[in-house]
Structure 1
Amino acid sequence: MKKITLLILTFTLIVSCYEKYIPRNIENIKIQEFKMDNTSIRAIVAIDANTMHYAGSKADVGFTSDAGKSWSTKHITYQDSIIPHFRSLAKNGDAFFALSIANPALLYKISKEKTELVYTENHEKVFYDALQFFDDGLHGIAVGDPTEDCASVILTADRGNSWSKISCDNLPEFADDEAFFAASNTNIKTIGSTVWIASGGKKTRILKSDDFGKTWQIFETPIIQGNGPQGIYSIDFSDKNNGIIIGGDYSKPTENKANKAITKDGGKTWTLVADNQNPNYKSCVQYVPNTNGQEIFAVGKTGVSFSNDAGNTWVEVSKDDYYAIQFVDKNTAWLSGNQKIGKLILE
Structure 2
Amino acid sequence: MRSFLALITIVFCSSCNVKSIFNKTEAPKTEEVKPPAFEPSFTTVAVDTLLAEKLSIRTLVIDNNKVWYAANNGNYGNIDLKDGKRFVGHIQKDTLKLEFRSMAQTEDNIFVLAIGNPGLLYRISKGESAVALVYEEKGEKVFYDAINFWNENEGIAIGDPTEDCFSLLITRDGGQTWKKIPCEALPKLAEGEAFFAASNTNINIKGERTWIVSGGKKSRVFYSEDKGKTWQVTETPILQGSSMTGIFSADFYDETIGFATGGDYEKPQQNFGNKIITSDGGKTWSLVGENNGYGYGSCVQFVPGSNGNELVTVGASGVFYSYDKGKTWNKIADYKDLFTLRFIDSKMFIAAGNKKILRFRLQ
- 1:281-312 superposed Cα distances (whole Å, 9 cap, x missing partner): 11100001111111110111321000111111
Which position in structure 2 is the counterpart of 1:5? none
Tell me how far 1:100 sits from its aligned partner.
0.2
Quote the Cα distance in structure 2 between the aligned partners of 1:47 and 1:140.
17
Please state if 1:279 is matched with 2:294. Answer: yes
- Once superposed, which parts of structure 1, at least 4 consecutive aligned residues long, lie more than 3 Å away? none
Amino acid aligned to 2:170: L
Which position in structure 2 is the counterpart of 1:205? 220
Amino acid aligned to 2:135: Y
Which position in structure 1 is the counterpart of 2:24? none
Amino acid aligned to 1:39: L
Please state if 1:83 is matched with 2:97. Answer: yes
Check 1:132–1:273 CA distance in 2 against 1; reply closer, same or farther (3 A cut).
same
Partner of residue 115 from structure 1, selected from 131, 134, 143? 131
Quote the Cα distance in structure 2 between the aligned partners of 1:38 and 1:339.
5
Is the CA contact 2:269–2:316 (under 8 Å) kept in the aligned structure 1?
A: no
Give SS of 1:39's match: coil
Give SS of 2:52's match: strand
Partner of residue 229 from structure 1, selected from 232, 238, 244? 244
Give SS of 1:253's match: coil
- 1:110-143 superposed Cα distances (whole Å, 9 cap, x missing partner): 0033210000000100000111111x32111111
Please state if 1:181 is matched with 2:196. Answer: yes
Tell me how far 1:34 sits from its aligned partner.
3.4
**TM-score, scaled to structure 1:** 0.91
Partner of residue 92 from structure 1, selected from 85, 106, 113? 106
1:4-15, aligned counterparts within 5 Å? none
- 1:201-229 superposed Cα distances (whole Å, 9 cap, x missing partner): 11010011111101011100000001111
Tell me how far 1:230 sits from its aligned partner.
0.4
Is the CA contact 2:38–2:309 (under 8 Å) kept in the aligned structure 1?
A: no
Q: Percent identity?
A: 45
Partner of residue 68 from structure 2, selected from 47, 53, 62? 53
Partner of residue 101 from structure 1, selected from 96, 115, 126? 115
Quote the Cα distance in structure 2 between the aligned partners of 1:240 and 1:159.
24
Cα RMSD over matched residues?
A: 1.3
Which position in structure 2 is the counterpart of 1:269? 284
In structure 2, runs of 5+ residues without a counterpart are 1-36
Tell me how far 1:22 sits from its aligned partner.
5.9
- 1:96-120 superposed Cα distances (whole Å, 9 cap, x missing partner): 0000000000000000332100000
Which position in structure 2 is the counterpart of 1:133? 149
Is the CA contact 2:67–2:81 (under 8 Å) kept in the aligned structure 1?
A: no
In structure 1, runs of 5+ residues without a counterpart are 1-20
Is the CA contact 1:76–1:83 (under 8 Å) kept in the aligned structure 2?
A: no
Amino acid aligned to 2:43: E
Give SS of 2:57's match: strand
Amino acid aligned to 2:332: V
Is the CA contact 2:38–2:323 (under 8 Å) kept in the aligned structure 1?
A: no
**Number of residue-to-residue matches in the alignment:** 324
Give SS of 2:240's match: coil
Please state if 1:40 is matched with 2:56. Answer: yes
Tell me how far 1:327 sits from its aligned partner.
0.3
Quote the Cα distance in structure 1 between the aligned partners of 2:47 and 2:197.
24
Amino acid aligned to 1:331: K
Which position in structure 2 is the counterpart of 1:327? 343
Please state if 1:251 is matched with 2:266. Answer: yes
Tell me how far 1:35 sits from its aligned partner.
3.9
Please state if 1:159 is matched with 2:174. Answer: yes
Is the CA contact 1:47–1:328 (under 8 Å) kept in the aligned structure 2?
A: no
Quote the Cα distance in structure 1 between the aligned partners of 2:354 and 2:207.
32
Amino acid aligned to 1:94: D
Quote the Cα distance in structure 2 between the aligned partners of 1:196 and 1:35.
32
Amino acid aligned to 2:359: K
Please state if 1:74 is matched with 2:89. Answer: yes
Tell me how far 1:68 sits from its aligned partner.
6.9
Please state if 1:306 is matched with 2:321. Answer: yes
Amino acid aligned to 1:181: F
Quote the Cα distance in structure 2 between the aligned partners of 1:25 and 1:45.
24
**TM-score, scaled to structure 2:** 0.87
Check 1:72–1:223 CA distance in 2 against 1; reply closer, same or farther (3 A cut).
same
